[in-house]
Structure 1
Amino acid sequence: MNERGLVVTKPKIRRAWWVALIVVGALVAGLTPVLARLRDDGPPAVRRDGYLPHPVPAAAVPSREGVAPLVDKGLHDAANVRMFRMHDQVWDHPVAQAQWGLQNLAGWRATGKRIYLDRAIANAQRNVDRRVESRGAWWYPYDFELARCKKRPLLRPRWYSGMSQGQLLSLFVGLYEETGDAAWRTAADRTFLSLTLPVHDSEPWATWTDRDGYQWLEEYPENDEPRGEQVLNGHVFSLYGVYDYWRMTGDGRAAEVFDAAATTVRRYLPTRFRVENWASRYSMNCRHFHLKYHQIHTRQTLRLYEITHASVFAEYADTLRADYPAPALKGRVQLERGTHVGYTFDLKGQVTGERTVTLARAARVAADQRVRVRGRGIHYRVTEGPLAGYLVPEEPGRRVLLGVAVDHRYAPARALTAQPGTYTGFTFDRAGAVTGTRKVTFADVTELALGGSAWVNGELSYQVAAGELAGFWLAARGDLAVASAAG
Structure 2
Amino acid sequence: MPSGLPFTFEARGFRCVLDVPDGMRPWRDRVAPREDEGTHDGDGVRMFRWKGGLHDHPVGQIQYGLENLAAYRRTGDAFFLVRARAQADRVVARRHERRGAWFFPYPFDFAHDVHSGVAYQAPWYSGMAQGEALSLFAQLAQLPAVPATARQRYRAAADGAFRSLLVGDDGAPWVVARDEAGHLWIHEYPIGAPGTSDYTYNGFMFAALGLWDYYALTRSPLAADLFDGSLTTLAANFRNMRNPRWLSHYCRTHAVPTASYHPVHITLLRQLSWLSGSEPLAARSDLLMDDYPAPSLGKDGGRVHLAEGTHTLFRYDDDGAVTATRTLALALPAEATASHRIRIKGRDVHYLLTDGPDRAEGWYVAERYPAAYVRGEWCASDYRPARRARFRAGVSVVCHRDGEERTVTYPKDTPVRYDRRALVDGRMMLRAADGDAKGWWVPGSQLLAG
TM-score (norm 1): 0.86
1:101: Cα distance to partner? Answer: 0.5
What's the secondary structure of 2:180's corresponding residue?
A: coil
Which has the higher mean CA deviation after the structures are superposed, 96-105 or 151-160? 151-160
Q: Please name the residue that 2:234 is paired with.
A: 265
Q: Which amino acid aligns with 2:379?
A: V
| Deviation, structure 1 residue 129 | 0.6
Aligned to 2:22: 58
Asked which structure has the greater RCO (Cα within 8 Å, sep 6+), the reply is 2
Of residues 377, 383, 400, the one that matches 1:426 is 400
Give 2:270's aligned residue. Answer: 302
Aligned to 1:218: 187
For residues 164-192 of structure 1, the C-alpha deviation after alignment (integer angstroms, 9 at most, x for no partner) is 11111101111112214211111111111
Alignment partner of 1:340 is 2:311: yes
Instruction: Give, in whole Å, the separation in 2 of the partners of 1:356 and 1:90.
Output: 56
Alignment-mate amino acid for residue 409 of structure 1: D
Q: Distance in 1 between matches of 2:178 and 2:33?
A: 39
Larger radius of gyration: 1
Quote the offset at 1:153 in angstroms.
Answer: 4.0
Mapped to 2, the partners of 1:387 and 1:290 lie a distance apart of 30
SS in 2 for 1:105: helix
Paired letter, 2:109: E
Q: Which has the higher helix share?
A: 1
The one of 281, 287, 293 equivalent to 1:325 is 293
How far is the alpha carbon of 1:288 from its aligned partner?
Answer: 0.9
Q: Assess if the C-alpha contact under 8 Å between 2:7 and 2:168 holds in 1.
A: no
Partner of 1:366: 337
Structure 2 CA distance for aligned equivalents of residues 196 and 237 of structure 1: 17
**CA contact 1:98–1:167 (8 Å) conserved in 2:** yes
CA distance in 2, matches of 1:351, 1:443: 48
Q: Equivalents in 1 of 2:110, 2:325: separation in Å?
A: 43
- Of the structure 1 ranges 384-393 and 251-260, higher mean CA displacement relative to structure 2 is found in 384-393
- 1:145-224 matched pairs, under 5 angstroms: 145-148=109-112, 149-178=114-143, 179=146, 180=148, 181-201=151-171, 203-224=172-193
**Match for residue 33 of structure 2 among 34, 57, 69:** 69
Which residue number corresponds to residue 220 of structure 2? Answer: 251
Matched AA of 1:462 = L
Note the C-alpha offset of 1:57: 1.5
Q: How far apart in 1 are the matches of 2:87 and 2:76?
A: 18
Distance of aligned partners of 1:175 and 1:150 in 2 relative to their CA distance in 1, 3 Å threshold:
closer
Give 1:25's aligned residue: none
In structure 2, distance between residues paired with 1:44 and 1:161: 20
Partners of 1:98 and 1:64 in 2: how far apart? Answer: 14
User: Are 1:47 and 2:10 counterparts?
Assistant: yes
Query: Normalising by the residue count of structure 2, what TM-score does the alignment of the two structures yield?
Result: 0.93
Cα separation, 2, equivalents of 1:204 and 1:62: 27
Match of 2:373 among 382, 400, 407: 400
Check whether the contact 1:43–1:211 (CA below 8 A) recurs between aligned residues.
no
**1:382 to 2:341 alignment:** no
| Aligned counterpart for 2:321 among listed residues 350, 353, 359 | 350
SS at match of 1:424: strand
3-state SS of paired residue (1:115) = helix
Q: Bigger CA drift: 356-365 or 405-414?
A: 356-365
Q: CA deviation at 1:65?
A: 2.2
The alignment yields a C-alpha RMSD, in angstroms, of 1.7
Query: Percent of aligned pairs with the same residue?
Result: 35
Q: Amino acid of the residue matched to residue 449 of structure 1?
A: R
